[in-house]
Amino acid sequence: MIDLHTHTTLSDGSVLPSELVRHCLISGYRAVALTDHVDSGNMERVLQQLMKVAEDLNRMGQIKVLSGVEITHMPPSLIPEMAQDARKLGAKIVVVHGESPVEPVYPQTNLFALQSDVDILAHPGMITEEEVRLAERRGIYLELSARKGHCLTNGRLVVLARRYQAKLVINTDAHGPKELFSQDLLRKVGLGAGLTEGEFQKVLGNSEELVNKRF
């Protein structure tokens, strides 16, 4: 299994990065991205700490650990610059907190994120057809979320991604060990959102593809 959206005590998660990675390893994960919430004030500090932990844990060779960020609740016009800064600071995975139906995210966050150098637009809510087409053109992965609330619009995302051939990934958005999923539960998230079995396997392959690009 691969999970490219998780949180630790460096933002609003419940355990240290090393502890979360250990639980991922025991749960059968082959790769995990640590993508704590950041804004313009804490991004450098958070990334420095995650990069250090990832470097240490990757020396063990048991699981691939990618250091990243989730740009969260920032004014949309600042997202492109923040994504560039994250890359310069060494982020392997750049996620943007999309327009979830259960949080007061700025309008046009999805659009500005998809015009930026990011890897994943997380839980994009009522994403528009044009935004899905933009994601496909720019090679940005759209997230089917396993997290309560964020997952409410997964079905819409599957329909539009299928229509425009945009790439999907499934992530837990785990904030602690109890929120990590088994392969069977992730499969239920995908099939429950309307993926066929074949499409679900392609989605798993998309996560593998992104890890191979960034690790």
- Domain CATH number, residue 29: 3.20.20.140
Please give the pLDDT value at position 122. 98
Please give the pLDDT value at position 102. 98
Dist. CA 132–CA 140, nearest whole Å: 9
The conformation of residue 59, written as its DSSP 8-state character, comes to T
Q: Is 125 exposed, middle or buried (0-12, 13-18, 19+ CB in 10 A)?
A: buried
Three-point CA angle 67, 13, 179, nearest 5° = 95
- Render pLDDT for 123-169 as a digit per residue (tens, 0 to 9): 999 999 999 999 999 999 999 999 999 999 999 999 999 999 999 99
Please give the pLDDT value at position 196. 98
The domain total for the chain is 1
Please give the pLDDT value at position 88. 98
What mean pLDDT comes out for the span 49-66? 97
The pTM assigned to this predicted structure is 0.98
* Owning domain of residue 197: 2-214
Please give the pLDDT value at position 202. 98
The percentage of residues in the chain with a pLDDT greater than 70, rounded to a whole number, is: 100
Q: Say which residue the tokens 């429950």 belong to.
A: 192
Please give the pLDDT value at position 193. 98
Q: If we measure between CA atoms, which residue out of 191, 154, 146, 155 comes closest to residue 3?
A: 146
- Render pLDDT for 81-136 as a digit per residue (tens, 0 to 9): 999 999 999 999 999 999 999 999 999 999 999 999 999 999 999 999 999 999 99
Residue 70 pLDDT grade (very low, low, confident, very high; cuts 50, 70, 90): very high
Please give the pLDDT value at position 173. 98
